């Protein structure tokens, strides 16, 4: 396992993205988003995505240097198109607009369609929360074969459709940040396990015949007919939420659903429905702060079943990973690192230069 400091990775990834065609500001923004995902423990949404992004730039299903386009401004309802630009840039640009609008009107609902992979959705909720706002995000995915089977099914019909909710913290408590795939695992976690030669936990995957398996290879088959599926989290209830994200993001988001016509596009396109709320438009901020403090104290005082595993609030695991990885560095498995270096060579960043950037950071 390699271990790199975040600054070193930011420098390599930023340079690689510039060589792939991004303007410096965009390259820095995407690189920061990816490295920040690694820092928070989500390697599935970190720098390991670079080979896919380079592939999608080269097959022209992703367009660097493309910003957010406002399609319709209806006041508290806004529609945007991402023009297949980098989701990390377009998503952040949209959140800046929504934060401004929610402060003005108390709330805003926004539909974002046709954006390349938005990455770690929690990044956008963190922007709202930092501005003292609540945000809710439903996301679906088109452009590649489905990954997650419906409850009682065995072949994929959905992607891992994330749902994310951020609520600001208080003086005493960190923000609540729920950010989760509705498939039992994000497909990137299967990719990371495959690269490390590890199995996934039992009950996560089925093979193409619907039989339980722990082998992540079923998600990356050499023969498409052998593709397995991830199961939804939480049995039928998780399946219902997965389906809800598909409807809210794909239909209301305006970009379309996991329709077989899009499966062959060899890309990853996100659509997202976002609601941003200024809590002060609904409740007294001082009362809200007291109520959140009381609730979090009460919840976390529940005696842990295992003394080594205290009760956490959503967002804590990411904060703990951030602290540990800032101190110890970010682990990157050799297969993932090699894939990134190969992608670099493809766009004109030789391995020797990548090594020098890493060393000089
Ligand atoms: P996960 O299972 O690691 O965490 C899910 C949530 O559970 C997080 O909010 C985390 O803080 C919380 N959590 C974890 N352990 C906890 C505990 N003990 N107590 C309280 N809360 C706890 O995340 P995941 O489902 O694997 O998703 C990973 C990432 O993948 C997310 O950032 C998501 O946005 C991203 N994703 C993106 C896409 C896309 O198309 N852009 C698709 C799927 C997933």
- Which domains does the chain show, CATH number per domain? 1-58+329-361 (1.10.1530.10)
pLDDT of 253 > 90? The answer is yes
Whole-number Å distance, alpha carbon 281 to ligand 1 midpoint, is: 29
pLDDT at 360: 76
In this prediction, residue 188 has a pLDDT band, given cuts at 50, 70 and 90, of confident
Question: What does the pLDDT look like over 53-97, one tens digit per residue?
Answer: 999 999 999 999 999 999 999 999 999 999 999 999 999 999 999
Confidence of residue 38 (pLDDT cuts 50, 70, 90): very high
- 270 ligand 1 Cβ < 6 A: yes
> What average pLDDT is seen over the chain?
96
pLDDT mean over 163-187? 96
Residue 311 contacts residue 317 (beta carbons within 8 Å): no
- Cβ atoms of residues 80 and 48 within 8 Å: no
Gyration radius from the chain CA atoms: 20
Say how far apart CA 271 and CA 248 lie, in whole Å.
9
Q: Diameter of the chain by CA atoms?
A: 58
Q: Which of 125, 148, 185, 186 best tests ligand 1's pocket when mutated (most atoms within 8 Å of CB)?
A: 186
Predicted confidence (pLDDT) per residue in 279-306, tens digit: 999 999 999 999 999 999 999 999 999 9
Say which residues have a Cβ less than 8 Å from residue 298's Cβ, sequence separation at least 6. Answer: none
The predicted pLDDT at position 361 comes to: 63
Cβ of 120 less than 6 Å from ligand 1: yes
302-356: pLDDT as tens digits: 999 999 999 999 999 999 999 999 999 999 999 999 999 999 999 999 999 999 9
Is the pLDDT at 265 greater than 80? The verdict is yes
| pTM to 2 decimal places | 0.96
| CA-160 nearest atom, ligand 1 | 43
Alpha-carbon distance of 55 to 37, in angstroms, equals 21
């Amino acid at each position: 396992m390699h271990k790199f400091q975040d600054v070193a990775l930011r420098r390599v990834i930023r340079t690689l993205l510039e060589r792939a065609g991004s303007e410096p500001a965009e390259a820095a923004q995407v690189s920061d988003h990816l490295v920040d995902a690694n820092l928070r423990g989500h390697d599935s949404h970190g720098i390991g995505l670079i080979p896919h992004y380079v592939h999608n730039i080269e097959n022209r299903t992703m367009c660097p240097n493309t910003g957010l386009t406002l399609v319709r401004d209806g006041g508290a309802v806004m529609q945007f198109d991402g023009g297949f630009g980098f989701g990390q840039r377009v998503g952040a640009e949209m959140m800046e607009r929504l934060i401004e609008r929610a402060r003005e009107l108390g709330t805003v609902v926004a539909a974002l369609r046709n954006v390349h992979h938005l990455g770690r959705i929690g990044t956008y909720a963190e922007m709202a929360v930092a501005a003292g706002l609540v945000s809710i995000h439903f996301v679906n995915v088109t452009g590649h074969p489905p990954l997650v089977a419906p409850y009682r099914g065995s072949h994929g019909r959905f992607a891992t459709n994330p749902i994310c909710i951020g609520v600001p913290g208080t003086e005493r408590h960190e923000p609540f940040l729920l950010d989760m795939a509705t498939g039992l695992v994000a497909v990137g976690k299967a990719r990371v396990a495959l690269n490390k030669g590890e199995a996934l936990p039992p009950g996560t995957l089925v093979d193409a015949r619907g039989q339980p398996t722990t082998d992540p290879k079923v998600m990356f088959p050499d023969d498409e007919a052998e593709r397995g599926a991830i199961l939804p989290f939480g049995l039928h209830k998780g399946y219902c939420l997965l389906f809800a994200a598909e409807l809210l993001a794909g239909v209301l988001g305006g970009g379309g659903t996991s329709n077989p016509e899009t499966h062959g596009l060899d890309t990853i396109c996100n659509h997202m429905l976002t609601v941003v709320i200024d809590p002060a438009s609904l409740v007294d901020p001082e009362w809200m702060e007291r109520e959140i403090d009381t609730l979090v104290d009460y919840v976390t005082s529940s005696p842990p079943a295992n003394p080594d595993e205290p009760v956490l609030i959503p967002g804590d695991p990411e904060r703990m990973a951030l602290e540990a990885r800032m101190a110890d560095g970010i682990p990157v498995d050799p297969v993932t690192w090699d894939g990134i270096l190969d992608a670099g060579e493809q766009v004109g960043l030789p391995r020797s230069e990548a090594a020098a950037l890493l060393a000089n950071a």
